[in-house]
Amino acid sequence: MRLSWRLRETGLLLSGGALVLCGAAIASAARRGELVPAAFAPLLVYLAAALAVHIVLSLAGVRGDQLLLPIVVALSGIGLVFLLRLDPDFGMRQAIWLVLGLVIAMATYFLTRRIAVLRRFKYSIATVGLILVGLTFLFGQDLNGSGARLWLGAGGIYFQPSELLKVLLVVFLAAYLDEHAVILSRGAYRLGPVPLPPIPYLIPLLVMWGLAVGMLVIQRDLGAALLFFGIFVAMLYLASGRLLYLSVAVAAFAAAIWVAYRAIPIFQNRVDTWLNPWAQPSGLGMQSIQGLIALASGGLFGAGIGLGRPGYVPAVHTDFILVAIGEEAGLAVTLGLIALYAVFIGRGFRLAMRSRSTFAALLAAGLVTVIGIQTFVIIAGVLRLLPLTGVTLPFVSYGGSSIVTNSVLLGLLLRLAADAEGPA
Amino acid sequence: MITDVGILGLRVLFVVLLYAFLLQIAFLLWRDLRSRPVVAPTAGAAPAVLRVVDGARSGLKRGATLAIGTETTVGRAPGSGLVLPDETVSSRHALLRQVDGRWWLEDLGSTNGTRVNGRPLAAATVVVPGDLLEFGAVRLRLERGG
């Protein structure tokens, strides 16, 4: 039997774990003047769970990418350090979600033994996603008073279906585009001697996109709409390699934005706030302004974890968590986090290039595109490069739906990575 | 009790650990690049044809030569790049294409499967001249063209 222990993963998990524990030590020392065991307990539980996942993967002889898991653990661990410091209550819940997330990632990995099965059930997957969003439209609840009814649930447990829809959409698009990639990239198919544009092949795609975006605009969840459109365009380009589709789609979206700006007041407010948050410094512009002030006060090395005042920023534990990190740990650390995202996304594209089928390649590239676009949209929103839209910072922000979704995504990537390495 | 100096030390350590983690990743990426032999793309296209070994009921004669493009769909459908009018061939059966001078064969979810030298195809696979490609009951051999 060959030795197949995931040694690189071991090393990265150990140094990532040390990093996370050092962050917890700073928070504990700064807030209480000493190292309190309680400050470390949730982190140790999470790191132990991550180590258990690593051991399971190694013992099962899983080959494939060893960077994905440690990067996710480092990002989530740093997020957890800040959540515990911002609000121990949220922190504890996050720790439970993160451990659950690792279980979900493993379940996803071991249940998708044959990834091609996902391809066969593409329409079922798309239908499930749309039913979820439809249910939200009918029975959705507005938990954070943002005016968007995004949550489904009862009895204290709530879920945001648009989160899960991202992954379902990527699976559907990968399967669908795989089936039609040749025709799409050729740009025309032939009916006898007459070349026709591939419109019949694009219609289901446009319907899918229209439904998803329409529902989300009705629900006022613009962050997700932007994300969905980005996924759609990116995957269409990946499958077809044609800039024409890209430019037509971007032009269509620009037109949609113009209409939305004219027609939807909440969207108009967002854009106006983006252009000039100081018009309403204590109203709509407050979150943006407080975020910028916090980031600026952090400087290069920050105030120290536990020594800043990130509590002034609304939604600092979810969408604005980067602000808390920037204020207390500084630009040095936020840039480091962005580098981690870049490596994660790069590994996904590398995986896509090494995959053995078009479906696997599209799926791998699509999944990391989700992470890439989402990270960009929220960081750009916080920095006022783009209008602010409410999406979470993947792996770092507080939120059960987000963690569950990203765990499924991680599980799928690990499966795709193993498939790309293993015997055909 | 931890002094301010102690906290400062921990903060420095935190940044150092983060960048050590990143360096470790960078080192692994570098080793990855070094260790993997880069496949040199074969210069120019390698033209190939398919020779009919067993036409089944498609009406193709044994020994006949079939031309293929750099991206050819194989199927029963009239629009296919290579039309095999046999009932065991699915309308969109398989895809044969050239990437960096190599021929790749991929099954497109056909009913009766695609086989290379008798082995069923699970994923896209490199095929070389001399390989026996089976689409349902139709058997073709990949040969160097030119």
Chain B residue closest in CA terms to A330: B15
A272 located within any domain: no
Chain A residue closest in CA terms to B32: A65
Segments forming the whole domain that contains residue A302: 1-111+278-424
Domain match, A325 and A303 both:
yes
Both tokens assigned to A117: 């099965």
A152 located within any domain: yes
Domain match, A146 and A210 both:
yes
Residue-level pLDDT at A345 = 96
Is A144 near chain B, with CB under 8 Å? no
Domain match, A167 and A283 both:
no
Mean pLDDT for all residues in chain A: 83
| Residue A198 confidence (pLDDT) above 70 | no
Chain A residue closest in CA terms to B96: A182
Is B2 near chain A, with CB under 8 Å? yes
**In the predicted model, what is the mean pLDDT of residues B23-29?**
93
Residue-level pLDDT at A256 = 77
Contact check, Cβ <8 Å, A424/B123: yes
Is A10 near chain B, with CB under 8 Å? no
Mean pLDDT for all residues in chain B: 84
Domain match, A133 and A252 both:
yes
DSSP H or E run through B34: helix B4-35
| Residue A100 confidence (pLDDT) above 90 | yes
Contact check, Cβ <8 Å, B11/A182: no
- The sheet that has B114-116: what strands, in order across it? B65-67, B48-54, B138-144, B132-135, B114-116, B119-120
Percent of chain A whose predicted confidence (pLDDT) is above 70: 87
Domain match, A308 and A218 both:
no
| pLDDT tens digits for range B34-62 | 775 544 444 445 678 888 988 888 888 88
A87 located within any domain: yes
Last residue of a domain, one of A235, A263, A291: A263
CA of B118, closest CA in chain A: separation in Å?
15
Chain A residue closest in CA terms to B1: A34
Residue-level pLDDT at A195 = 47
Most confident stretch, A99-103, A191-195, B84-88:
A99-103
A268 located within any domain: no
Contact check, Cβ <8 Å, B14/A22: yes
Residue-level pLDDT at B131 = 86
H, E, C per residue of B117-128: CCEECCCCEEEC
Residue-level pLDDT at A341 = 96
Interface test with B, best of A19, A28, A176 (most B CBs within 10 A): A19
A417 located within any domain: yes
Domain match, A330 and A236 both:
no
List A residues 358-397 in contact with B (Cβ-Cβ < 8 A): 358, 360
| Residue A189 confidence (pLDDT) above 90 | no
Is A239 near chain B, with CB under 8 Å? no
Percent of chain A whose predicted confidence (pLDDT) is above 90: 33
Residues of A in contact with B29 (CB under 8 A): 67, 343
Query: What is the CB-side half-sphere exposure of residue A139 using CA atoms within 13 A?
Result: 10
| Residue A128 confidence (pLDDT) above 80 | yes
Domain match, A292 and A309 both:
yes
Q: Which residue has the higher pLDDT, A288 or A209?
A: A288
Residue-level pLDDT at A188 = 52
| pLDDT tens digits for range B113-134 | 899 888 888 778 888 888 899 9
- Lowest mean pLDDT, pick from A306-320, A339-353, B8-22: A306-320
Is A193 near chain B, with CB under 8 Å? no
Contact check, Cβ <8 Å, B21/A16: yes
| pLDDT tens digits for range A217-228 | 676 667 777 788
| pLDDT tens digits for range B78-112 | 888 888 888 899 988 999 888 767 788 988 888 88
Contact check, Cβ <8 Å, B18/A19: yes
Residue-level pLDDT at A186 = 55
Domain match, A257 and A129 both:
yes
**In the predicted model, what is the mean pLDDT of residues A239-253?**
77
Last residue of a domain, one of A219, A240, A263: A263
Q: Which residue has the higher pLDDT, A213 or A18?
A: A18
Is A342 near chain B, with CB under 8 Å? no
Domain match, A174 and A291 both:
no
Last residue of a domain, one of A238, A263, A288: A263
Residue-level pLDDT at A155 = 57
Is B109 near chain A, with CB under 8 Å? yes
Domain match, A406 and A294 both:
yes
Confidence tier at B70 by pLDDT (50, 70, 90): confident
Is A332 near chain B, with CB under 8 Å? yes
Domain match, A137 and A228 both:
yes
- The count of residues in chain B is 146
Domain count, chain A: 2
List A residues 277-316 in contact with B (Cβ-Cβ < 8 A): 301-302, 304-305, 307
A81 located within any domain: yes
| pLDDT tens digits for range A47-98 | 999 999 999 999 988 888 899 999 999 999 999 999 999 888 889 999 999 9
| Residue A1 confidence (pLDDT) above 70 | no
| Residue A124 confidence (pLDDT) above 70 | yes
At position A144, the amino acid (one-letter code) is N
Residue-level pLDDT at B45 = 53
Contact check, Cβ <8 Å, A22/B79: no
Q: Which residue has the higher pLDDT, A365 or A204?
A: A365
| pLDDT tens digits for range A154-169 | 556 677 777 888 898 8
Residues of A in contact with B22 (CB under 8 A): 336, 339-340
A273 located within any domain: no
Interface test with B, best of A26, A66, A176, A191 (most B CBs within 10 A): A26
Domain match, A245 and A282 both:
no
Strand, coil or helix: what is B112? coil
